Structure 1
Amino acid sequence: MNDRVVVTGLGSVSALGLNTDQFWSALKEGRSGISSLQGFDDSGLKVALGAQANGFDPSSCFFARDLPILDRYSQFALMACQEALAQAGLDETALDGAAAVIGTGCGGKETDEATYDQLYRQGKSRAHPFTIPKGMPSAAASQVSMQLAITGPVFTVSSACSSANHAIAQAALLIRAGVVQVAVAGGTDAPFTYGLLKAWEALRVLSKDNCRPFSADRSGLVLGEGAGMVVLESEQHARSRGATMLARLAGSGMSSDAGHITDPSAAGAARAIQAALKDAAMDPQAVDYVNAHGTGTLANDRTETEAIHRVFGSHAARLMVSSTKSMHGHALGASGGLEFVATVLALRDGVIPPTINFTRPGEGCDLDYVPNTAREKRIQAAISNSFAFGGLNAVQVLQAV
């Protein structure tokens, strides 16, 4: 069986808002969610900026009885999944046997940090009894399954910053293989803990002033948090129940650089894009828009541009390419989910979100990056790129319906 896969629901939590309407409005307006880092006063951190979901209040979103078992990254996943399923018009009665594939780059870091603080700083001799089930990398997937009554295949994918796109690809494969008819998939991460920020600080890839993907004066990435989730269905199933189809997931491509742990490879990225187009049986000339990985680091932006040239040839000059990380930050394992949501909405509404903060093109960055202002243009096909540390690449091809 090889049924076509469609998108019927979208959900998101990010620094741009706690739902997808807020997220999309900010992207269209070119409004940034990046600001001075909050919650770490006098900590000795050199990290200056973050794209934090500062309006998020767990106590207003979840029952008090559930909070002790929900790490922040699981909270984000649940909110985004609930929104996506509501838009798709699916409730618990329709999810028996459905799948959930949840990507995360970090897992329950908030829980880990609190535990280590209690043991090593406060000198306590015992950890909380829920430490493992709350903080394990599969906790978000388990919570989504339990709270939304999803009883089919449920598992976690962790491939750093490609986690969400890998998760969406696996969910689509389950549908195409006939294993399930419905799946919820995407990514979630909550990296704003002292220990994790110190680790990122040591990598020296964080910007001190802003996120400016593809610009000559770009100075690094800005971390973000949140979740991006989608509901995928077989087209036959969606049509049978009269669902509104937002886009078609035409193909997925994956590759590994098999090279450096942090230095990306244009050849590896290009292989993933080519694999996605082949899976979609789509000619490169048919693609109108690329939602770029676009981190704002010197290495990524130049390498990604080269990969696009390798795949698209002379057509690269006609592509619109933008990085929404300039607004919602790099939410690690959630980024691919947020960017997938943005790509679906670009196809649905005919609006290309901009790369904000763009000044002038950097060396080796010579494409149309939709600088600073959204562009109204009807498009038929788009790709969404995710390229992770360790050379783990995942690309999605989406078509208008």
Structure 2
Amino acid sequence: MHVEERGTGTPVVLIHGAGVDHRILLPLEPVFEESGGWRRLYVDLPGMGRSPVGDVASSDDMADAMLREVRERLGDEPFAVVGNSYGAMIARRLVAELPGQVLGLAAIAGVFVATHAERTAPPRTVLHVEPGLLDGVDPAVAEGYTEIAVVQTREGLASYERYVHPGVLTVDTAGLARLGERYAFAAEPEDTAPPFAGPALFLCGRQDDVVGYADAWDRLEHYPHASLVVLDRAGHNVLLEQPEQAGAAVAEWLGRVREATGPVADVTSPAAAAVDEAPSSERRGAVQYTWRGHFEDEEVNALHAEAFEHDVLDDAWHDQLERHSLGWVVARDARGLVGFVNVVGDGSVHAFVEDTAVASRRRREGIGVRLIEVAREQAAAAGCEWLHVDFDPHLRSFYYDACGFTPTDAGLIRLR
């Protein structure tokens, strides 16, 4: 099962819904980063994303596969779990199977009743459509977005195209159809397990015509420390339609989980568990390094322009990196982004360093070296055997002496 990990600290397993992949939950990244100290495990369920369907043919099979993955990756380490839509079904099963290990449960637009005809959900409603919204939009994207969005805006469409549609394209349709034939559990988790006393959150869209919110209310007594949050002007993709309010609800839940578990030992270095600081005589604050960390296109464009001495561009870094990169490293201090490096993979054993950049206000402190170290560690963890780089002559000492690259023969053809 493919799992994308980000950060260090208390584990949080994030499980997406049916017909998409882990990217639908990535809008939560800023919430986790601001809270600090969370090791996020974004799962691609079998038959979706980068996980083959294998022999999974029912929701019971899916839950068993998820249990095996958790045990393999976490052993008996306590963890919190976030489930979105169908993923909340699987998360509820984890809570029932591992009640002493699960620290908290968040069900986002969660499925509480498997059979569609038996759900209590409002009728399909569209509250607002921006004029000209779909002009020039790919028909598949337009159809996927409009069939579920309650408030249809350009911002929402962009979020759908970024976080949802790419996962839709990965789905094993035959495998998903097979799953749909045995979608319900043999027994509902709440009917077979004692009440779960950990912090819980049921986050719902008021206009969600897929799962509604009433079925979550019906299960509330099983979770005595659950908050039920129902957001107006939101459907099944509540994270995309009401990102600020949804993020606030998840942040509050994380606070309750943290309060119940106590602080983590080190929350300053989510990717590398290391801090790069200036000498004590001129210390300017710790630097936090995050593999595949959150960033805004605007801040990377500004840093790149400063580092490579060109005008600030309007490049869509998020889209480029999600399509082409193995990963990237983000370095931040209290004031903002201070370092960045992109790692491109060939899908096999080779990885390539691109766009290494450090803010001028934090240069000559070892930040660039640490960026490369994290890139090297993560590329190796992904199964790569070789890390490549090319550079201008004045950077020879940095890459050879400080970072450990060795000279090798190479060739180059200018294409334009």
State whether TM-score is above 0.5.
no
TM-score (norm 2): 0.27
TM-score (norm 1): 0.28
More RCO (CA 8 Å, sep 6+): 1
- Which of these two proteins has the greater Rg computed from alpha carbons? 2
